[in-house]
Structure 1
């Protein structure tokens, strides 16, 4: 029995998994809504792409903070924060009269999802018995992969019948169920240990990713030199981040793991696969 997963732990993983599932689902489902949102807000393709870009950039910037957050706060506090951010963001999008509020909602959703996904895997790694850990890691990965795969179909069905806002309205009962389940099952079992945060390193990472995203969105427009300059500055920021991360005792990300050749090749394979995946998923329908 010591190697079995306790029912409460399983429900805890399900509660966080639902939140992670909802976040990844909107990441791919929102793409289908681009034409409808362009018509509703009278905007062009370059502008509406920020509905996806703002979300992904925010989640990407929050995920590297996960180790610091999980040391500094309890699982219950992190879950409630993620649920609050994501639910408030969803509510803003549902009632947003302008694209600006939609983007604010997407940023809040990105914060929530950026907390939820690492939290789900951290609970699995820390609480699941070793003999069951590999299986549960696979289940966690399946949750996010399935959400990304069904997102375009889910979004297309709802947009065709009820409009683009229904993509987010339909998530509200799911988010409420996740919140109730999490409140019942997720406890704050340990005392958080506050540690210093490498603000300069994190700032370099955030600035580098933002500059590269701006450069990517600006390709094909009237200022190619600006995009090239943004690319260059972004790469410099990421290089400085990598240098500092290997010369500090408390890095935001421990890049030393890339010294393991097997891990590096697996990471490159995973990255390449997702680049191909997003190439076809984030392509506006006509």
Structure 2
């Protein structure tokens, strides 16, 4: 599932290409046809993201909400518009470009009140200027659940997925099983600041890179990472490979139905 930086990149792209002008909106597949007809030809006021949710705001009480889920994708192309290929849930056509949305978990038209209710269920997003990290810490610091579980809870923290979760805990030497209520305010501030830094870079370059300069392939002479997700990382999907810092084999286990990756040496088990 795409992590938050991907949705913010899409919001920036759609803001640049479509906002401020009338947009043709259709549903070649038909599943979004009634809603598409209500906004077809209207001006897109803005595109924005909150966590893993994308919002196209067409005006009062007309907001398209998209959650890509595991299989959703946007494809973009310059005009002229071509015939639909496959199951296109929503097509947007602007003055210079057009985009097709396929396979999303959610594509729906919401009122402003419904958008507000949805956003109120989400935790703060490290990529939003209006984020309140103290809200996330208040939830986290009351919980007995492992910090690794809480970081993926979108009602605690919005936009962080399995990659950023694994990597930020490694970068700060945190045992993934440390109970949330034992995360200090100082540690939380460091985790939050690092997520802001890493995720902003993800928006800028379009991939997740978490390795510090001294551990890059260029600095160490090791081969670049070969993975369909791209990016240089410390532990994510590196099971059994040597830790880039200490050489210990990277460990993995299932936690709350998700794969967890960590270095047993750099992230020693919590005692207490």
Greater per-residue helix proportion: 1
**Structure with larger RCO (C-alpha < 8 A, sep 6+):** 1
Q: TM-score, normalised on structure 2?
A: 0.28
Greater per-residue strand proportion: 2
